A = this chain, B = another copy of it.
Amino acid sequence: MEKIKEKEFKLNKEEDFSNWFSEIIQKSELLDLRYNIKGFNIFKPWAVEIIEKMYDHMQKILKQKNHKPYYFPTLIPEQNFKLESGHLKGFTPEVFWVKEAGTSKLPEKLALRPTSETAFYQMFALWIRSYKDLPFKTYQRANIFRYDTKATRPLLRDREFYWIETHCAHTSKENALNQVKEDMETTEQVLHGIFGLPFIFFERPEWDKFAGAERTFAADVLNPDGKLVQQPSTHLINASFAKAFNITYKDKNQKQQPCYLTCYGPAMSRILASIIIIHGDNKGLRLPWKIAPKQVVIVPIKNSPEILKKVEKIKQELETKDIEVEVDLSEKTTGEKFYFWEMKGVPARIEIGLKEIENKELTIFRRDLNKKEKIKEKDLIKYIQEFSTQYDKNLTKQSDNLFNNRIIDVDSKSELKKAIEQGKIARCNFCSVEKKAMNCAEIIEKEINAEVRGTKFEKETPLKDSKCVICKKPAKEIVYIARAY
């Protein structure tokens, strides 16, 4: 066992989160961080297989909700960005520009898309004619590029990431806001329902909106270090956008009306970061059942013919139920195999030795509870089918509990400070999330090094006579404050 111990994963998620994360993504063979451009990484097979499954789930649900798939070019002409000044201003510092090809100077600067509103919108103007065309709901699976000038971090803050973007047009602002709600439900269905991630959807304060949005809503997930990670955001786009791109429709009375636009952007590579972080432990990954490339690994305790025959039988039995099975016949020791597949986050391990064959039993190690169970061989299928549901429920419950325990009501600056230092999300009364309240937000940023993340979509109203946690003026909102990346 000495050899195994040497290789064991020594880092501690709770005490040394940052190193834990960067080690785990390498040791579990998700990413290779040695690519020779800063902020760009290589996704290895284990990561690709997970992300492809994540894409499948997200796309399936978007299709059910009548989004249609498109592929738009990766390059967007600079002129498209120039049409909407807020968007241009917001994205200009982050854009990679192409100005040359071969030995020629191109006639126009081309952006590596940081997001694709300005590509879709010029086509919306051509495609949308009448109220009968609306709602017009699209999506594309795409890579996007952002020259983020803050410190890069694998998966969390890469310069190329793997996402889906939806772009929609509606007849009215009300319908557009319903789309925003639908996007939030999609997030709940996929991120919480399938990936087991707890989050809160906030409406971002006025000063923290997407460049070009009238209203921005974003899901925040909490890391063990007390910092929030922004996951999918959905936006009610500024009316100025529809105007700039001339996106209109003829209503039932043949009158030309402006469209109301929304967009939504779940980034699979960044969501993978949260899956790693929220479910992982000091043994490695713990992957939700529906995105695990292998759901069951079978480890023969010895490579004897009798055992191998049984292994093959069990494998085939599981595969008839569409369960993805790996059999580890490598030269590693049994202990090394256990260690390896726990690290990779496979939900269940089946151990088969002579004792198991003798007793017509199977030994199952379950990664949700990190414990072994013995079952009768004949109960295998029933057990695994129940297990797959229970396993996901356990991961979700464990994560939900941790998350909910870290949201705390505070009533004063000192309480706020204490909560933030403990890595919590503080809920408190606040004067206003409009521009004029920037003062209080700035104080929070400067003195406590935390951010006002926003209000809930279904607004919570402060009790009568409540005061802002900072300036003690009458509170108009209940906001959530935390540290963030």
How many angstroms between the C-alpha atoms of A263 and B112 in the bound complex? 27
Assess the A69–B95 pair: CB atoms within 8 A.
no
* Candidates B45, B80, B102, B143; contact of A68 at CB < 8 Å: B45
Instruction: Name A's interface SS.
Output: mixed
Q: Which residues of the partner chain B approach A258 to less than 8 Å between Cβ atoms? A: none
Nearest CB to that of A112 among chain B residues?
B98
Tell me if A162 is interfacial: C-beta within 8 Å of chain B.
yes
Stretch of A29-37, A333-341, A345-353 with 4 or more beta carbons under 8 angstroms from chain B: A29-37
Of the listed stretches A70-78, A362-370, A395-403, name the one at the interface; the rest are far from the partner chain: A70-78
| B96 and A100 within 8 A (CB) | yes
Distance, CA A193 to CA B93, complexed state (A): 49
Does the CB pair A70–B98 fall under 8 Å?
Answer: no
Q: How far is the CB of A353 from chain B (nearest CB, A)?
A: 26
Whether A36 and B122, one on each chain, are in contact in the complex, defined by CB atoms closer than 8 angstroms, is yes
A102 adjacent to B94 (CB under 8 Å): yes
Instruction: Mark A128-149 against chain B: 1 for CB-CB distance below 8 A, else 0.
Output: 0000000000000001010101
The answer to the question of A245 belonging to the interface, with a C-beta cut-off of 8 Å to chain B, is no
Q: Does A357 contact B (CB under 8 A)?
A: no
Q: Does A443 contact B (CB under 8 A)?
A: no
> When the two chains form the complex, which single residue of B44, B77, B145 contacts A70, counting CB atoms closer than 8 Å?
B44
A104 to B42, CA, bound (A): 24
A106: nearest chain-B partner, CB-CB: B96
Bound: A75/B70 CA distance, A: 23
How many chain-A residues does the 8 Å CB contact rule pick out?
52
Whether A92 is near chain B, meaning CB under 8 Å from some CB there, is yes
Q: What residues on B are CB-neighbors of A52 within 8 Å? A: 69
Q: Which residues of B contact A244 (CB under 8 A)?
A: none
Residue of B nearest to A73 (CB): B40
Is B45 a contact partner of A70 (Cβ separation < 8 A)? yes
A104 cross-chain contacts in B, Cβ below 8 A: 147
Report whether A42 and B123 are in contact in the complex, using a CB–CB cutoff of 8 Å: yes
Type the 1/0 row for A45-78, where 1 means its CB is closer than 8 Å to any CB of B.
1011101100000000000000011111111010
A68: nearest residue on chain B (CB-CB)? B45
| Cβ contact within 8 Å between A101 and B147 | yes
Interface positions of A from 13 to 47, Cβ below 8 Å from B: 32, 34-37, 40-45, 47
Q: How far apart sit A143 and B72, CA to CA, in the bound complex (Å)?
A: 11
Instruction: Identify which of B70, B95, B143 contacts A74 (C-beta below 8 A).
Output: B143
Q: Could you list which residues of chain A lie within 8 angstroms of chain B, going by C-beta atoms?
A: 32, 34-37, 40-45, 47-49, 51-52, 68-75, 77, 79-80, 92-104, 110, 112, 119, 122-123, 126, 143, 145, 147, 149, 160, 162
Q: Which 7 A-B pairs have the closest CB atoms?
A: A101-B147, A43-B71, A40-B73, A45-B68, A48-B69, A93-B102, A96-B101
